[in-house]
Chain A
Amino acid sequence: MKTGGRPLLWISLALLVLLGVLLSLSCGPLGFPDDPLALRLRIPRVALALLAGSSLAASGCILQGLLRNDLATPYTLGISAGASLAAGALIILEPMMPVIVFLGAGSAGALAASAAVWALARASGGGDSSRLLLSGVTVNLVGASLLLLVEYFSPASRLVEIIRWMMGDLAAVDGAVPLFLLPFVVLGLSLALPRSGTLNQLSMGDDLAASRGVRVSSERNALLLAASLLAGGAVGAVGPVGFVGLIVPHAMRRFAGSDNRVLLPASALGGMAVLLLADVVSRVVAAPAEIPIGIVMSLLGGPFFLALLFREGGGGS
């Protein structure tokens, strides 16, 4: 209830993130800390995991509140379909582009998809949560079909590249990728965090929020933009890694409660820790080979999420 009144929560989350950073820096084929090359490769990777993890989890938290739906994820607004379609098309058309163009295309596709969802919901008579959900599902399905169409006409070698992109990748060759993502995260969080109290109001109902002084449609638009920037940037940078945006806010509710003034920053920190640890697993489990982060995240996230559900079911009244 009080943002400042939960020292234990913030200390444990900070320690968890720190643990993730240290593990991530020290695990892998090269030694640590003797090998300077290892550090040079791993620091951008850690930075990328911190940024992408926090933005995916924060985005999920915002959308779960805004859409009043526990199943909402950053991808509910068509973001993964938009990003995959843009990246897929680029791989087919111009595979030899510099990395930054890929990042930009993925994020642009993601943002275009969520803008389409927003516009469709408005055109159909309002921006309320059920219309947003329905148009999000539609854009996702159409985007996925268009991607299949692109894949159908692409040569096998490029097909492999598209599929590999969709599995997610945290390997940052240098600082360019985290630096690309940074402004998305800064902008997204600076839009969302000051609105966390407003998000609480919107999560109860539009009329109720309005009667308490919330300018519903402009505040909702600002929060949607924040969620889209956060997830769009992350998906452009690391690919459509799933489950972070779904399970982290859920898991955090157990420790932080459901007040978004606490839950939103806690989710951002939790997302950092989860993605860092999943990345460590992805590098250690089949070393020296590396399993794509998207696969690790879903394989670990699925059972974890189910365990959470079963515990809730057993412990609840």
Chain B
Amino acid sequence: MQRLTVEDLSAGYGGNAVLSDISFGLEEGGICAMIGPNGAGKSTLLKAILNLGTLMSGRVTIAGSDSRALTRPEMARLASFLPQEYNHGSRLTVLETVLLGRHPHRQPWSTDSAVDLCIAEECMDLTGVAGLAGRPFCELSGGERRLVMLASALAQKPILLLLDEPAASLDFRHQIDVWKLLGRLGTMGVSVLASTHEIGIAGRFATSVLAVAGGGSRAFGPPPSVCTGEILSDVFGVDLAVSQDGYGGFSVVPLLVGEA
């Protein structure tokens, strides 16, 4: 069964559509990398899938249920979200922040159970932030905060992960680690939709690529069919040379002729 189906979706803010006629699907264990220029509507699409105020028309089906028919807690037990924006000044510790992901699985005032703690520790290990457990969230670097929020999204134990630039502000090592982790989650049956600018790395681990530009989807398919010089140049509006590295990854090089 399809884990996520998006049909004829239009999304935007205050009646103005940023995106229209988006259709694609994600199977169980599928990893979809969403690419596109800044402001193309990648975050808007993720929010529309979660019904966070940007869905205007069309249909989103998560694990067979229409997203509009799901209550917030029901949706939260299926899908978790890593937004780009959150309170950087939070004084909760890293462990407490990761434990916040357990919210849909318990009563709002209940204490953290042994199971919650165990899951939180496991997720901190997965993203490599176990060593930061006692540190206040507000004192972390931008990259560390991304990894903590990713752990928190994992602690929600979703079958669908919606990630808005999970590897933003991470160094090469951590970018690769994050995408490797997403690939591993895929083999465990979790489906992932992640917006990204690391096309080269994402293409190696993703099972599909969705290119968004100019108010709609430009291409959707397996990485080799979407990550071509022609399509990427068109999507980003700049001349790009793409070469396959022979290991399933891509290197994307902007051709700077005439840009100086």
Contacts and interface: CB of A to CB of B under 8 A. Distances in A.
Contact of A211 (B79, B89, B97, B109): B79
Contacts of B73: 213
A2 B99 CA distance: 11
Given A197-B108, A210-B52, A212-B76, A68 B100 contact: no
Contacts of A201: 100, 103
Interface of B: 47, 50, 52, 72-73, 75-77, 79-81, 83, 85-87, 89-93, 95-97, 99-101, 103-104, 107-112, 136, 139, 156, 162
Contacts of A4: 111
Nearest to A212: B103
B108 A211 contact: no
Given A68-B89, A204-B100, A214 B72 contact: yes
A204 B50 contact: no
A249 B169 CA distance: 33
Contacts of B81: 207-208, 211
Contacts of B93: 1, 257-258
Contact of A200 (B79, B100, B107, B139): B100
B96 A2 contact: no
A80 interface: no
**Which residue among B75, B81, B86 has the maximum number of chain A CB atoms within 10 Å of its CB?**
B86
Nearest to B136: A258
- Chain A interface size, under 10 / 10 to 19 / 20 to 34 / 35 or more: 20 to 34
Interface string A182-212: 0000000000011111101101110110111
B72 A198 contact: no
B85 A205 contact: yes
A205 B103 contact: no
B50 A210 contact: yes
B38 to A, nearest CB: 19
Interface in A247-295: 253, 257-259, 261
Contact of B111 (A2, A200, A317): A2
Contacts of A122: none
Contacts of A5: 111
B72 A205 contact: no
A203 B90 contact: yes
A3 interface: yes
Shortest 7 CB-CB contacts between residues of A and residues of B: A213-B76, A211-B81, A213-B104, A213-B73, A197-B108, A258-B91, A205-B86
